[in-house]
């Protein structure tokens, strides 16, 4: 019950890592604002949270829009009087396109959700958290693609590198305000995003899934593996940790 009475926003909570993280925060007593473009998935999540100590409060919207990122924070503050934790998790991946195959549409779509949305939400969140005696906590979900060069297409790689830079800068700039900001960098985790990866790329599914066709042999992780790291970083147990990046990848990027 580390998050009893805490106000927590999780984006991309309709599926995959976000849904698991939102449920686990609620199980530890948090009031969770669960944000996603998929309204039906949020309703389902709310049902799954029945009986947990905390509550899932659905907030449907498209995070590629500035107003949605700002309104979800206003919603949390209006409902719970504060914002303790912001988890920027929503993301889209593209299909391993290198720069020569890149369309402007893909560049805009991936950067808007994966990098611009966290900029809008973090800008608003630090304004709220700076005025709170307890400060606040931001956890951003990047990827091993934010640390390595060839594990995804160029836009996703740029977005996740950018998210790591933005997180470290924010951690440093808001030390005195008591706002911590950390990054979790997953490797391959069993969610819908992995299913969409193409089989025919040398950096595609065969390598990511491990086993046959893989030169690393690592196993895909479970959403719980990421949720537990996110909640650790958002908890007081991690009070001395800010501006750090935590790789959770079962050894995938350790070669």
Ligand X SMILES: NC(=O)c1ccc[n+]([C@@H]2O[C@H](COP(=O)([O-])OP(=O)(O)OC[C@H]3O[C@@H](n4cnc5c(N)ncnc54)[C@H](O)[C@@H]3O)[C@@H](O)[C@H]2O)c1
Distance CA 155, CA 110 (A): 7
Our finding on whether 143 is near ligand X (CB under 6 A) is yes
Min separation Cβ 191 and ligand X, Å: 3
Our finding on whether 153 is near ligand X (CB under 6 A) is no
Residues that bind ligand X (rule: CB under 6 A) add up to a total of 28
Our finding on whether 191 is near ligand X (CB under 6 A) is yes
Residue pair 155/94 in contact by the 8 Å Cβ criterion: yes
From 79-87, 91-99, 127-135, 210-218, span contacting ligand X (CB under 6 A)? 91-99
Could you write out the three-class secondary structure of 93-124?
A: CCCCCCHHHCCHHHHHHHHHHHHHHHHHHHHH
Burial class (CB in 10 A: 0-12, 13-18, 19+), 38: middle
Binding residues for ligand X restricted to 60-79, rule: CB under 6 A: 62-64
Our finding on whether 238 is near ligand X (CB under 6 A) is no
Pairing of strands 245-248, 179-186: parallel
Binding residues for ligand X restricted to 10-29, rule: CB under 6 A: 12, 14-18
Our finding on whether 247 is near ligand X (CB under 6 A) is no
Of the two residues 83 and 113, which places its CB atom closer to ligand X in the complex? Answer: 113
Min separation Cβ 4 and ligand X, Å: 26
Distance CA 123, CA 134 (A): 18
Binding residues for ligand X restricted to 38-57, rule: CB under 6 A: 38, 41
Distance CA 9, CA 26 (A): 11
| Residue 204 burial (CB count, 10 A) | 16
Is 197 among the residues known to form the active site? no
From 72-80, 120-128, 181-189, 209-217, span contacting ligand X (CB under 6 A)? 181-189
Residue pair 70/126 in contact by the 8 Å Cβ criterion: no
Our finding on whether 188 is near ligand X (CB under 6 A) is yes
Distance CA 167, CA 138 (A): 8
Which chain residues interact with ligand X by CB under 6 A? 12, 14-18, 36-38, 41, 62-64, 89-93, 113, 141, 143, 186, 188-189, 191-194
């Amino acid at each position: 019950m580390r998050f009893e009475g805490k106000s927590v926003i999780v984006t991309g909570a309709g599926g995959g890592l976000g849904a698991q993280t939102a449920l686990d925060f609620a199980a530890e007593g948090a009031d969770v604002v669960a944000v996603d473009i998929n309204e039906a998935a949020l309703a389902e999540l709310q049902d799954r949270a029945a009986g947990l100590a905390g509550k899932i409060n659905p907030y449907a919207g498209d995070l590629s829009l500035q107003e949605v990122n700002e309104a979800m924070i206003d919603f949390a503050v209006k409902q719970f009087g504060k914002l303790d934790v912001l988890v920027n998790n929503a993301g889209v991946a593209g299909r391993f396109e290198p720069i020569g195959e890149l369309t402007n549409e893909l560049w805009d779509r991936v950067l808007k959700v994966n990098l611009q949305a966290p900029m809008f939400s973090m800008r608003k969140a630090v304004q709220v958290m700076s005025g709170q005696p307890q400060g606040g906590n931001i956890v951003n979900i990047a990827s091993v693609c934010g640390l390595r060069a060839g594990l995804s297409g160029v836009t996703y790689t740029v977005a996740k590198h950018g998210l790591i830079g933005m997180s470290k800068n924010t951690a440093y700039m808001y030390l005195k305000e008591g706002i911590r900001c950390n990054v979790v960098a997953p490797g391959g985790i069993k969610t819908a995003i992995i299913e969409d990866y193409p089989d025919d790329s040398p950096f595609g599914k065969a390598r990511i899934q491990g086993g046959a066709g893989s030169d690393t042999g690592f196993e895909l992780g479970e959403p719980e593996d990421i949720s537990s790291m996110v909640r650790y970083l958002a908890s007081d147990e991690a009070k001395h940790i800010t501006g750090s990046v935590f790789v959770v990848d079962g050894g995938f990027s350790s070669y």
